[in-house]
Amino acid sequence: MKQVIAIPTSNNCLCQHFGHCEKFAVFQVEDKVIQGETYITPPPHQPGVLPIWLASKGVTHVIAGGIGHKAIALFHDKGIQVFTGAGEVPAKMLIEDFVNGSLKTGSNSCDH
């Protein structure tokens, strides 16, 4: 099964504030193997824009620290699964944990 996972980053680590990241690390995963990795610059932050934009890029999953409830609802409307409360570690470490089934998540730190 092909998956496209987006992780909001700053300095190549997970950015705890989803809407204010520098770039998104986007990983293509198939059969638990990382097939590709790209970094893309998001459009300017506006409510509701990022879920639509990431969906247009074929994203199937999002790994985030803190993310607003409206954004989560928009992702779910697009069929995109969201994992919140991930730690502020390198994106590559998060995707490896995701692929291995050991991704650690916690509470959503965003109050939007």
Residue-number span of the structural domain to which 22 is assigned: 2-100
Q: What is the DSSP string of 7-41?
A: EEEETTEE-SBGGG-SEEEEEEEETTEEEEEEEEP
pLDDT of residue 107: 74
Q: Is residue 43 part of a domain?
A: yes
Any domain includes 69: yes
Is residue 51 a part of any domain in this protein?
A: yes
Q: What is the mean pLDDT of residues 33-54?
A: 94
Does residue 28 sit within a domain?
yes
Task: Please tell me the total count of domains within the chain.
Answer: 1
Q: Does pLDDT of 22 surpass 90? A: yes
Q: Is the pLDDT of residue 48 over 80?
A: yes
pLDDT digits (tens, 9 = 90+) for 34-43: 999 999 999 9
pTM: 0.94
Residue 16 has pLDDT above 60, yes or no: yes
Position 65 in a domain: yes
Give me the pLDDT at residue 3, please.
98
Here the CATH number for the domain that contains residue 85 is 3.30.420.130
- Length of the chain measured in residues: 112
Q: Give the pLDDT score at 19.
A: 87
Q: Is 41 among the domain residues?
A: yes
Contact in structure between 34 and 98 (CB atoms under 8 Å): no
